[in-house]
């Protein structure tokens, strides 16, 4: 340990000095989600006007607002990019201050380690980590994701040590050794937490109850980001289900409740038996406390949690994710309102494919049938065709179960006509006639549509 402490002291520098490692034209990669650096970002943000054409990229940006955005609204020095949009990224994008980078989440690890893509990754990498352990390792805490691969392939690797970062046991790729990094910054900032989810409305409760009927003892769960998956997790906690497993990109608050109620054992998993596997976490401080040094949970590189083939190794996978809209061809958009980027593909497609290929597995794409615009006018989320500019997140060939408050349908093996009819049947009643008329005009409806395929 003495050797590591000496090396630690040699590599320890101020945030301002670390920020000086960035050169004009560099690509800077920030740690994912709650591992986004704070002190390093503050120091880098001071260099507006000194640097030119520096690209800074994050993944699921959380508060505080990056200084490289806030201090440089005219983008004299920095352009900010994000692999997965949060509310903060969306707002920045509205002002032209952030740009989305599309990808399937499991591919992040592959890209990070692939030398053919080294030019796409970081010249300088910095992420928050937990304090060094006796083996000389820093843990990536709440944002394993693809941090390690980028760090190892960057020109300069910097860790921002934060004693408030939980140590999340692995897994895979959950650490970086002091020999593998160039510089160390010390900080003591609070870790980002998500505010409590709002109470579920009637539509969300109906959707959750439909899906609950499809979850059985021994199911292996993936819960996506948002209120609906968290609601279902809470319902599971209050159910009598047993021996459930977890393989999910995100570890969320409701999973702690499931553990406390004895629903999760991971005993029926074929892979990573007796462990809940995940790649990042965003939630409450209670959830972070639960994950800290918890050997029942395994932090993993996103490749290991999200690769469809890795998902399918486990039996009875149940994948639950939100969507924004679906058209009568059954193309799904989960990431944009027209041209406005809302989130990203993330791992949704990964788990839709992986769950279907799991023995006994099912994927559910959930949505309330309508939404209201800023003027209070109601619109259907089921549309004849996707809104202009809307991004196809899940192709029609991959969609399995689709759920609204008006029912649940499986679209696998259905014809174009069958898909249109099934979707119209779970649309809000006020929009069904218009959807039927549109289907006829689009020639995806005929008098034979009563045939059940």
Q: Report CA 37 to chain centroid distance, whole Å.
A: 19
Size of the chain, expressed as the number of residues it contains: 453
Count Cβ atoms within 10 A of the Cβ of residue 295 and give its class: 0-12 exposed, 13-18 middle, 19 or more buried: exposed
Q: Would you say 305 and 281 are in contact if contact means Cβ atoms under 8 Å apart? A: no
Query: 226 Cβ partners below 8 Å, 6+ apart?
Result: 322
**How many Å apart are CA 31 and CA 11, to the nearest integer?**
19
Cα radius of gyration (the chain)? 23
Distance CA(267)–CA(407), nearest Å, equals 32
- Known active-site residue 249: yes
Q: How far apart are CA 155 and CA 121, in angstroms?
A: 10
Under 8 Å between Cβ of 67 and 224? no
End-to-end Cα, the chain, rounded Å: 67
d(CA 237, CA 241): 8
The catalytic position among 107, 249, 335, 405 is 249
User: What positions carry a catalytic annotation?
Assistant: 249
């Amino acid at each position: 340990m003495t050797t590591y402490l000496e090396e630690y002291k040699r590599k320890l520098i101020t945030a301002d000095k670390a920020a000086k490692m960035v050169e004009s034209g560099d690509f800077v990669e920030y740690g994912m989600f709650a591992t986004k650096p704070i002190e390093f970002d503050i120091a880098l943000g001071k260099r507006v006007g000194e640097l030119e054409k520096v690209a800074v990229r994050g993944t699921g940006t959380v508060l505080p607002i990056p200084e490289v955005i806030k201090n440089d609204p005219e983008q004299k020095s920095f352009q900010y990019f994000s692999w997965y949009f949060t509310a903060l990224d969306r707002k920045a994008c509205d002002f032209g201050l952030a740009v989305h980078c599309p990808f399937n989440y499991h591919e992040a690890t592959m890209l990070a380690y692939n030398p053919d893509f080294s030019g796409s990754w970081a010249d300088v990498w910095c992420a928050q980590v937990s304090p060094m352990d006796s083996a000389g390792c820093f843990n990536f805490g709440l944002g394993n994701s693809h941090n390690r691969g980028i760090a190892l392939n960057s020109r300069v690797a910097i860790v921002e040590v934060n004693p408030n970062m939980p140590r999340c046991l692995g897994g895979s790729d959950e650490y970086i050794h002091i020999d593998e990094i160039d510089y160390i910054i010390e900080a003591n900032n609070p870790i980002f937490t998500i505010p409590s989810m709002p109470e579920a409305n009637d539509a969300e409760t109906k959707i959750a109850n439909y899906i609950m009927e499809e979850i059985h003892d021994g199911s292996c769960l993936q819960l996506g980001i948002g209120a609906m998956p968290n609601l279902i997790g809470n319902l599971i906690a209050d159910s009598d289900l047993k021996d459930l497993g977890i393989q999910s990109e995100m570890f969320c608050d409701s999973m702690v409740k499931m553990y406390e109620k004895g629903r999760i054992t991971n005993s029926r998993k074929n892979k990573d038996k007796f462990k809940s596997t995940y790649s990042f976490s965003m939630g409450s401080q209670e959830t972070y406390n639960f994950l800290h040094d918890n050997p029942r949970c395994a932090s993993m590189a996103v490749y290991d949690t999200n690769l469809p083939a890795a998902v399918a190794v486990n039996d009875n996978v149940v994948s639950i994710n939100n969507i924004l809209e679906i058209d009568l061809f059954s193309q799904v958009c989960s990431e944009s309102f027209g041209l406005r980027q809302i989130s990203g593909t993330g791992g949704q497609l990964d788990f839709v494919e992986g769950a279907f290929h799991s023995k006994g597995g099912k994927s559910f794409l959930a949505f309330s049938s309508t939404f209201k615009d800023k003027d209070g006018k109601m619109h259907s989320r089921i549309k004849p065709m996707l809104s202009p500019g809307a991004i196809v997140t899940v192709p029609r060939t991959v969609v399995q179960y689709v759920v609204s408050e008006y029912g649940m349908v499986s679209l696998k093996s259905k014809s174009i006509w069958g898909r249109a009819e099934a979707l119209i049947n779970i649309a809000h009643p006020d929009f069904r006639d218009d959807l039927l008329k549109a289907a006829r005009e689009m020639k995806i409806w005929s008098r034979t549509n009563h045939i059940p395929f």
